[in-house]
Structure 1
Amino acid sequence: MPLRARLTAAFLVVVLGPVLLGAVFIGAAVNAVTDGRAVDRLNAAAASVTAVTRNHCDRLTSTAAAIAVLFGEDTAAATAAASHAVTSQRLERVWLSDTDGAVVAEAGVEAAELGNQVQCRQPTSVTGIDTLVAGVEVQDADGRRVGYATAAMRVDAAFLAELAEVSGAEVTVDDGRMPPSSSYTGARSSQARESLRLAESSAESELVVTGDTGLMVRSVPVETGSPVPYVVSLYEDSGRELFGILAVIVVTAALLAVSAAAWLARSATRPMAQLADGAEAIARGDLTVRVPVHGNDELAGLARSFNRMARETQGYVQALTASRDQLRGQLNLLGDTLSSTLDLERILEVIVDTAVVATGARAGVMLLVDADNSQMLAGRIAEGPAEVGTRRTGDIRLPIGEGLLGEVAARTRAIRGTVGGEGMPILSPREPQCRSFLAVPVVSLAGRGGDGVEPAATASGLLGVLAVYDRPGDDEFDDTDLTTLRTFAGQAAVAVGNVLSHREAQRLSLTDPLTGLWNYRYLQVSMAREVERAGRFHRRAAVIVIDLDKFKVVNDTFGHLAGDTVLAEVARRISNEIRDVDLAFRYGGEEFVVLLPEAEVSGAERVAERLWQAVRSEPVSVESAAGQPERVIDVTVSLGVAVFPDHGDDGSQVLSAADEALYAAKAAGRDTWRVAGR
């Protein structure tokens, strides 16, 4: 046993022995006092049960008397009054009967459902009491008895629960029924039989009997106004309050004794305790701790050696920390470099190469959420950095939720471990096979919602997954590797987010937000490019200008929201009728332009015919206000066709010729198309 423990134990024996002996003596005295209190509580509970039962009998008698005045009156009125009494007084049955026992008026349950009845004013021995009954005679004006008014209430669990609540004790009906009716519930139901057994085993002069379990019972005799035989029971009062005070005193004395013993032992063994505390602090990682040196003995020499060891260890840790901070600084610098470039392919290469080098992994992969399918991941695997010539550029496509990488993407939570480990996801055949792995999600720092969401990000802000595989020597990835890869994933998210945001900005600058078609700016660029290409290779390029007929009437009649719906639907129909190489533009307002590379006049006429038919063939459905039927709008268009170089020497001339053909179509009555020069 340690020295401090021996000193403490000796002091506690000397101090606490007398205190414990005194506590035992006081406890015995308290126990004697509590027996008398239990008898008083049982007597009070018996009186309360009798009083409550008598009160219910009085209430039944009063209810019967109130109904009795309606005897001989209208039967419906008497029945209504009885029904009201049953409902308001929560009774089982109220009825009026004549001297022959025939029922005149009644309410509540049927008479057969009352079960075994006991009369309030004429107590009789009944086996299995179900109902408490009280009644009054009904007399005529001459004082002759003409009938009876009776009210009944159920002696059930609710009735007994009320008695138990008022009396503060458990109540059991001693009517010979087994199992007995009792306020005991659940697992304590067996105590009802125990209380009856104790009551029956006592002599008539005894009021209280204590069972082996501490259960105390008292029989409540039957009397007029309280005709139900009860047994009240409770557990012997343990005098918890007094014992509690005694326990506080003993605990307080014990605490004072322990404090004194601890001070005495500490003052005797302080140098050794300080050395032990210093070693414990070093074990927790606190390398700044130093133990005081007292005197010049062996313990003082040991303390000086301990302090020298702590100083040298602290120097080594500081050097390692500086190296780690330098690595983090390099990662931050690399992240800033990544953030400044918009070449996505090059960024992905740098991300994977740096992740592999920083963690000492054999291979790595960076998958991004597919721009065309937000439920797919796509990317490439790289084995080793590019400078050592071990790159592999195999493409990977993996559904979110499948395999290791799909699980990381689905849960946006980092995972590290070994394949086949407990709780680890099963590798998919689509992803790299490995022994150990470390994978972290790459989440957009722009968050969700608003204009800051990159077009390729999922609803959770997920951009992709960064993972590294297998470290030489079969070492597993540790928490430091996880922290490093998470830090780098944050920088990668910034770099990838910048590229995706730039691409989205470029797309938005060239498209019409309402229809999704290319805008006028891109029309100018595309016209110049296609005309230059057609001229160089001696080919043709056609232009079709489309204008909605009487579109102002649509806006004025149905509103601008309906007009926007019509424009979007017409744009959709136009896109469905042209080739993949053809381009559709919103020219402005209700005008559209279709550019057909390498199209002759005849081919352009066929396309114009298809577009004209596609728009006019089916009305456009427009949503109405809530509760109103859907509105249908008939839409027609006029079209003008021109071809380079037949109708112009450059893009602007061809577009002007198509405009003139459009005006010709409108002059011809609209809902038609014309070719320039005809």
Structure 2
Amino acid sequence: MCALSSDLGDTSGSTTRFLLICDSIASNRWEDDVTLRARLTAAFLAVVLGPVLLGAVFVGIAVATVSDQRASERLAAGADNLRAALAVTCQRLRLAAETAALLGDRPDAAQTAVGRGLARAVEVTDGGAVLATAGDLPPRPWADCGAPASQPAPSGFAAISASVDVLDAAGGRTGRAYAVEPVDSTLLGWLASASGVRVSSLADGPPPTAEDAAIVTLAKGLMPGATGTTDGGRLVRRLDPQSGQPLALAVSVPAPDVQGLYAVLVAVVVCAGLVAISVAWWLARSTTQPLTELAQAVERVADGDLGARVPVRSQDEVGRLGLTFNRMTREMQGYVQALTASRDQLRGQLGVLGDTLAGTHDPDRILQVILQTATAATGAQAGVVLMLDQSGAQLRGQVGEGLAGLDVAELRLSPGEGLLGTVAASGEPMRGRVDRDGPVLSANEPRCVTYVAVPVAAPTAGPTTGLEPHTERPPAARGVLALYDRHGFDEFDDADLVTLRTFAGQAAVAVDNVRVHEEAQRLSLTDPLTGLSNYRYLRESLRREVERASRFGRDLAVLALDLDHFKEVNDGYGHAAGDAVLAEFARRLRAEIREVDFAFRQGGEEFVVLLPETDADGASVLAERLGTAVRRSPVLVVSAGGSPAPRRIPVTVSIGIAVFPHHGATGAAVLEAADDALYAAKAGGRDTYRLASGRAGAKASAEVTPGAPKAAQPPRQSRGG
């Protein structure tokens, strides 16, 4: 029932759209609500757990980064403190060396420095001989605290030392005093206590512990000042000797341990996930239960039971959907009956509509009415009509309906191009879906999903209703009528195709009638020999232009022209040559006047030109230019006797000029005044022009040339030559 109702068009509006939704839901079993429930659960979990997971990852990364940064900062601070502690040690050793040097002449000088705790060993030398020692002197080499930065101490030391010169009473150097501090666990422990980090020596020799061995091995592989991490989880930095820091050392701190934090974060995420899954499942179940009931009711409607109802338990969106469904089912029977009667009535009126449109003479209006009626009959959302131009080489947009953002007047297609061009070239109708049936739409065509397109062809040119026997000869298409996208997203059917072809046939007949009428109208107002307007159109145009000039207070110049001695041309060269002269004169006349001017053949060799908004001076300029153009080049006419050389026939023209309202108050009066001026031009010797003088009824005319005497008006006579 849903499918049947949606096929009846868009008259019922929202009812049809709702029924299409019903049909879509009823096409699946109601058990599929489990899938919807799963989708809702997944969506809720994505919304809830997504930020939780992202937050947990962010916290883990942030904590790890901060821990690493704090460990690095602690390591850097320990290195700075270590350098300061070594500087203090070097100052203490220097003080011890100075004490020994000052007491150098005393046997207990070295022991005094050691006894005061300034150094753990002292040595005083005189030249190459050792004068005194105190404490346990470690083996050389010793790292010198006073070594310059450009000359760092070697790494294979056993102690650090500070030395000063021993001077005699005269200030002469007699020897040197050394204060020594062995590099052992005592010194390294004191440095670690002073710096707050673990200190390991990089001197040659076995490290005291396995952990120190791992630290020393890693540090020796690092660049100076670089940082690394041991397998035991300690952050290590290498410090090479420099000025004020004579030792090669490695400082280390424990690497940050964030495993416990990660375990807590994982536990939090798991708990949040369990809670979210429970809430999501409950929410999805409470949401899909009314939809399950609605799907069951829709199935009943699809089977023809319009009495199906949905229980409404809430006033939310689902509840309102149930209320709407119940209201729709109550009204559906009446809508179906009304739509069926409306469609049958609409199809019955197509013949009457075609007869009515065939009697009009405005092709655009005819096509617009046909297109609007076709869209209403088929329920289409949009449509367009394209017609072939006179050459038959291009389809041009004529009228459109519902084409938002598309200028139909700019639509141009070649036969065979896209959907519309294919229909025009083949003469065969097409319907279907673009994505399934094709063809590929041209870039200039309207965009659509479904379509039906038929050629605009007269009934005698081929099938137009689908009921006639098929012929091999394709119809002679005048254009294409196409409709797009039925309301309700349904495809066009065979009934729509028959309806549209009937419209297209009526459109072709009506357009042909208009063209025949226009051609007959044109022939009735046009001289067939010269292509100029004839005397019948002259009277209508003169009346119209006189009214316009009178309304706006403008001048209207009228020129009466007559070819001189034209009878001699007919007698001497034949009527065929005379016709050629008349046609050539008409061509030259059209070339000299403006687009807004009018040229007429009044009869025989007599012509009339109307010049809107032109005074006597302007008309005189045109008359002079036209006389020159005619006089300058004889007309070439092929001889009737078969002579290969064309004959040159000289031609001149006499012109009379009158201007409304100066020479007449009506069109007839002005034309008569121009005719009188033409007689004066002929009497004055021909091949010239005269301007009428005086008001209406005056019989005098004057030559326009300044200073020339006015010619007397001769008695009226025939203008045959």
State the TM-score bracket (shorter-chain normalisation).
0.3 to 0.5
